[in-house]
Chains A and B, each alone.
Chain A
Amino acid sequence: MSFVEYRDIIQNGDTAIVFLGHDSMFAIKVQQGGSTQTKYGAIKHSTDLIGKKYGSKVTCSKGGWVYILHPTPELWTVTLPHRTQILYSTDISMIVMMLELKPGSIVCESGTGSGSLSHAIIRTIAPTGRLYTVEFHKQRAEKAEEEFCDHKIDHLVTVKNQDVCKEGFGVVNVADAVFLDIPSPWEAVKYAKSALKTEGGRICSFSPCIEQVQRTCLAMTDQDFMDINTFEILLRVYDVRTVSLQLPDLGVGHTSNQDTLTDKKNQSKEDSWRDSQQGTTQFKSGAPLRDMAGHTGYLTFATKYLS
């Protein structure tokens, strides 16, 4: 396994995703002799995992079963240990596309945080690109570096432990894109500009509050960034289910011709349910979830043109 390359077989040292159900999965490190407890019982790594194919059904000690999935940045995002607030795949998708990332891109990022976005960036720019990520919190920087090693993507990323607002990214005129997720991005905009290639590049800043966005936009204008655009992207998930509603009982009365006609039509179509569940009608629905994320942050994009 590697986060940038698919493998078919689970090997010692791999990070794998244990899938129990839709909202229930977690990441494990596969180790010879190791074992993992689930609510369906234990999984023995040496016998149940190593040598098996990703996507297999694994029977646990209590007889229940789980699926073992190949890691992807998206699965990692929903299973990673949080050290900070993280970016989720909806925002990440927009960031990656609007920053025009592709294999070979050189990217600067700050802060590294829990590495949710970092993994997605590295996946996209591999095998020839590079990520320079800056995190001012020492433990977080170290932890991120460790994870990149575990996930076999450390050759594509450099983690720097410094303050981006005071010291910048530590590189000049190399980046195709810069991403900022820090409390005061306006202080880092000038470093972002100098990190970008002379022929230009793209920048994105993620901020939860509109006041941050306003200051950042002003700073970007000052630094001659163009095409400054702010977006908000929200995910709506639909629950697919069959809904059955009770038919109103209009009582017995004189049925007009029209009524009998529609009745007959319905009868032929809906016979099956009418028999079993009298007085209801069924349909398939994509119903919105009761709760959804109303706001994550504003995404501000801009271009540095060749000057």
Chain B
Amino acid sequence: MSDPVEVPAPGGGQAQPVSEGDHVVLKREEVFKAVQVHRGRKVTFEKQWFYLDNAIGQQYGTTFEVSSGGVLQPLKVKTKEVAKEANEAGIDNRNIIDDGKSQKLSRDDIEALKEQGLKGQDIVQHLIENSTTFRDKTGFAQEKYIKKKKKKYEAFITILKPTTRIMAMMYHSREPGKICYLRYDTLAQMLTLGNIHAGSKVIVAETCAGLVLGAVMERLGGFGSIIHVYPGSLPVRSAMENFGFPRSFYNHLFDFPINKLNSLLSGSFSAEKETLQKQTEVMMEEDSGSPLNTHQGDGMPCGETMMDNNQSEETKPMDVACEEAENKEKNPDRKFNVEERRSKQEDRLKKLQTAAAVLQERNADGLIIASRLYPSPLLLCLLEFVAPSRPFVIYCQYKEPLLVCYSNLRERGGVVNLRLSETWLRGYQVLPNRTHPKLTMSGSGGYILTGITVAMDRTKSVDNISNSQRAEERPAKRQKIEESRS
């Protein structure tokens, strides 16, 4: 199954600096934001705006300070902690009274300092000097005070390469709704329990903005293939695009619509018919959505953004979007568009046929489901395409639908080692004499059901293929035997 394409040079290769068009992640403290680097484009992050021009040519991992006018200045020397001069500190807070007057600088004074272009750390120093209670605070309280002020006034931004860790943490904290509240530790379980690795052929059914898809692509590293099974007329993949994978990673990424799965199973599927129908849908969507707003922020599903991976001579979706807008103005007859659409349609047809053929081999090495759809029917259908002795993983935000999956799988047979589980994740603050669990933790990261496929009893599997609605009157005795066995 392995199709080594471009091997990313391990070890020896010199790290590439940030260049224009790169997908990067901005980091400030514990907050992340994914952006694409463009000269002269204003970026807003954590209530600040700046331009990424100065980041171009710098190494990944460089930290910048935002100075006036939104210019990024690379930090040469890591600023060490503000020297705690005159370790004067109180013992307790019995004499500290909250009268709201401890800070002698007014808001206007602080604004004035900012306008003078004073550095963040100097403003913090001013605040400390003008706080009447600072000296009476305990050492710990002083540290906490400084930390809080630094966070507000000092803006250090680090530019990082996108990875599953960062993307999963970012989406979980910024837009959990878009990824079905899948917590990053749960995603980690899915990748491991699904034995996702280079050279595999994996079916991914997800509606998590492409986050799960991106995570699987990262683990495949360009070796093997993926079939993204999606609902609706186009797959949503904005999160996957933020990973900034090399083009070669897209060579073996296929997609297939969920609503054609039954026809594929029954043998009545015809790619030609489907494409025609689909193409009209796509066209309608393209016409209604303005291509320009698709690439800002974290992206909403929309025509061009979805990226027809194999075909595009289009390297940068943004450029294409601009071009197209121009073309519309220049060629009122839109001849160009008609031709482009025809070739797109042909590509689409070819891709759909390939995806169908890849699925039809029924030898996938793994199945991962993470969607907002009711999982059981999807699972039972997709398992038909998985080879025996391969793991599968289904994520659901809720436990109950997975109980149904569990029972239905038992009824169906052909699986062993079923396990319904959840992980708890607890963060710790580790500081000298102040170590304890973090005060707030995430309530739930969702549930996963895992198992391993095995050969079906021959009579039964024939039954299953020909008869898509599964036999409900499976003899109770069989079921019992299986339950006691596995």
Contacts and interface: CB of A to CB of B under 8 A. Distances in A.
Interface residues of A, number: 72
Contacts, number: 208
B197 A126 contact: yes
Contacts of A285: 403
A249 to B, nearest CB: 29
A97 B168 contact: yes
Contacts of B365: 6
B184 interface: yes
A5 B195 CA distance: 10
7 contacts: A4-B199, A55-B390, A57-B455, A104-B9, A130-B10, A235-B422, A284-B400
Interface stretch (B54-62, B260-268, B322-330): B54-62
A236 interface: yes
B78 interface: yes
A228 to B, nearest CB: 7
A273 interface: no
Nearest to A239: B420
A61 interface: no
Contacts of B455: 53, 55-57, 67
Interface stretch (A141-149, A185-193, A209-217): A209-217
Interface of A: 4-6, 8, 19-22, 53-57, 67-70, 72-74, 89-90, 92-94, 96-98, 100, 102-106, 120, 123-124, 126-130, 174, 197, 199-200, 210, 213-214, 217-218, 224, 227-238, 240, 284-286, 298, 300, 305-306
Across chains A and B, which 6 residue pairs bring their CB atoms closest together, nearest first? A55-B388, A103-B221, A55-B389, A93-B192, A97-B188, A306-B61
B163 interface: yes
A123 B59 CA distance: 29
A55 B453 contact: yes
B435 A214 contact: yes
A224 B184 CA distance: 26
Nearest to A174: B11
Contacts of A22: 416-418, 486
Interface in B51-101: 59-63, 78
Given A102-B219, A231-B425, A237 B192 contact: no
A210 to B, nearest CB: 6
Given A55-B454, A97-B168, A128-B7, A19 B417 contact: yes
B422 A238 contact: yes
Nearest to A90: B423
Contacts of A103: 8, 197-198, 219-223
B403 A199 contact: no
B388 A127 contact: no
A74 B193 contact: yes
Nearest to B414: A55
Interface in B398-420: 399-400, 402-404, 406-407, 416-420
Given A53-B388, A104-B10, A123-B197, A232 B426 contact: yes
